[in-house]
Every structure is written in structure tokens, then in C-alpha cells.
């Protein structure tokens, strides 16, 4: 998956993030778009987060452009600050400092990830090398932990437009390789805060890459 394909996936997410006050788009925010399969009724936890106006994230599986969704923040755990986002069908993505550390409901899920070194470099807009550990479900339904050596490099300044807001960001690339796979993660980071407002992150061999965009960056 190259960067051009990543940006194509972001075009769909930009439509969601760019008009979240529009009544039609607000219907999408209520869960009209499926990430896995359309649910008859929204997951109760998603519905509660929607009613509460919890922070939202638009997501698209890059290998399946039709698989798009809006996720709402379900919980933030303490003290590690892992943020769990839930979709209307109950699928979940977990993030720590904006980097994906878990998934549920996709098949061959990411059960856990250690991304502390990568997160420090990405959010600090610094170049360097890191080791990330990812525990994945394999084809035999066993949890296996794999190590990846990653190189983080800063890129250009780019503006991410979300609704009326033009958000200046620094692009960061995380190039990883291990015995299981090679992959590239891309991040758009707000220099003043270290917040990741847009990203393309690998979730394992089955699902592949997911493009992600904050609908309401800066909200906590």
C-alpha cells in the first residue's frame, strides 16, 4: 500500500470529517456506515457514546474502500491512557498516544502492542529507530508476538482540513520490518501538541492498513 493509495482512502474520510455538522453526515456519525457488516441496531455502547457526543474518528479499511465507519470514544483506561474507540457494529480499535495498540472484531486481531519507542519519536517529530512488539492472532487462532524494527523519519508540513479548520501538521513515516511482514505507517502530527489527527496504520496481515482521521481534533 503506497502513499498515493493512502491519500485516496483519506478522500472518503475527508468528506465525513469535513461536513460533520451537515444533517446527512450526522446520520453517518450515528452508525450508518459499516466497518465489518451492517448491524440491525447500533451497539449499545456506541449508541451511548453517540448520545454523549464522545470524540469521533473516521476509519476506512484501505483494501476494502466500502468498509468505512465512524467510531466513538468508549473508554480511556488509566494509567496507560489507552483509548478504546467503538463502531456501530461493535468493532473496536485501541490507541495509545494515537498509535494503534489493539483491535477487536476484525478477525486475526491485534491483541496488544508495545509502541512506546515509536510513539515518542512520532509525537516528538524526531528521526530514529525503534522496536515495536505486536501480539496477533494467527491462522490457528493462537496469539503470537512478533517484533518489528522500525525507522521513523519526519516529512513535510501538510495541512489537514477538517470542517472549517485548517490544521497544520508534520508528516511522519514509520517503516517497519520483521519476520512476519514489512509495512509503512504514516502519521500527521500537530507540532504544538503532538496530537495525531490523521494516520494510516497496519493492523496485521488479514485486515492490512486502516486509514484514520479525527473528526474533532483537539477535543478531550
Q: Tens digit of pLDDT for each residue in 180-216?
A: 899 999 999 999 999 999 999 999 988 899 999 998 6
Q: Let me know: does 176 contact 146? Beta carbons within 8 Å.
A: no
State the Cα–Cα distance between residues 164 and 171, nearest whole angstrom: 21
In this predicted model, what pLDDT tens digit does every residue of 112-128 receive, in sequence order?
Answer: 999 999 999 999 999 99
Q: Where are the beta strands (DSSP E) in 97-164?
A: 99-104, 110-114, 128-137, 143-162
In this predicted model, what pLDDT tens digit does every residue of 99-115 receive, in sequence order?
Answer: 999 999 888 899 999 99
Predicted TM-score (pTM) of the model is 0.85
Section 74-88 average pLDDT: 93
pLDDT band at 57; cut points 50, 70, 90: very high
Section 155-183 average pLDDT: 93
Section 130-148 average pLDDT: 93
pLDDT band at 67; cut points 50, 70, 90: confident
- Is residue 70 exposed (0-12), middle (13-18) or buried (19+ Cβ within 10 Å)? buried
What pLDDT sits at residue 215?
85
DSSP 82: P
Half-sphere exposure of 176 (CA within 13 A, CB side): 26
- Reply yes or no on domain 3-214 having CATH 2.40.360.10: yes
Of the candidates 107, 104, 100, 105, the residue with the CA atom closest to the CA atom of residue 134: 100
Query: What residue segments make up the domains of the chain, in order of their start?
Result: 3-214
pLDDT band at 71; cut points 50, 70, 90: very high
Amino acid at each position: 500500500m503506497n502513499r498515493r493509495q493512502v491519500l485516496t482512502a483519506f478522500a472518503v474520510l475527508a468528506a465525513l470529517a469535513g461536513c460533520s455538522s451537515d444533517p446527512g453526515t450526522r446520520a453517518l456519525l450515528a452508525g450508518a456506515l459499516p466497518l465489518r457488516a451492517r448491524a440491525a441496531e447500533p451497539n449499545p455502547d456506541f449508541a451511548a457514546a453517540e448520545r454523549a457526543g464522545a470524540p469521533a474518528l473516521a476509519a476506512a479499511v484501505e483494501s476494502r474502500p466500502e468498509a468505512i465507519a465512524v467510531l466513538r470514544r468508549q473508554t480511556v483506561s488509566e494509567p496507560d491512557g489507552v483509548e478504546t474507540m467503538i463502531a456501530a457494529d461493535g468493532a473496536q480499535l485501541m490507541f495509545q498516544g494515537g498509535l494503534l495498540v489493539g483491535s477487536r472484531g476484525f478477525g486475526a486481531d491485534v491483541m496488544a502492542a508495545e509502541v512506546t519507542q515509536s510513539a515518542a519519536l512520532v509525537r516528538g517529530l524526531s528521526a530514529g529507530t525503534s522496536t515495536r512488539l505486536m501480539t496477533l492472532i494467527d491462522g490457528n487462532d493462537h496469539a503470537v508476538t512478533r517484533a518489528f524494527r522500525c525507522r521513523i523519519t519526519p516529512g513535510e508540513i501538510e495541512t489537514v482540513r477538517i470542517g472549517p479548520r485548517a490544521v497544520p501538521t508534520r508528516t511522519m513515516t514509520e517503516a517497519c520490518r520483521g519476520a512476519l511482514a514489512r509495512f509503512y505507517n504514516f502519521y500527521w502530527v500537530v507540532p504544538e501538541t503532538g496530537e495525531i489527527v490523521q494516520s494510516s496504520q497496519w493492523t496485521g496481515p488479514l485486515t492490512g492498513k486502516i486509514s484514520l482521521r479525527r473528526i474533532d481534533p483537539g477535543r478531550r
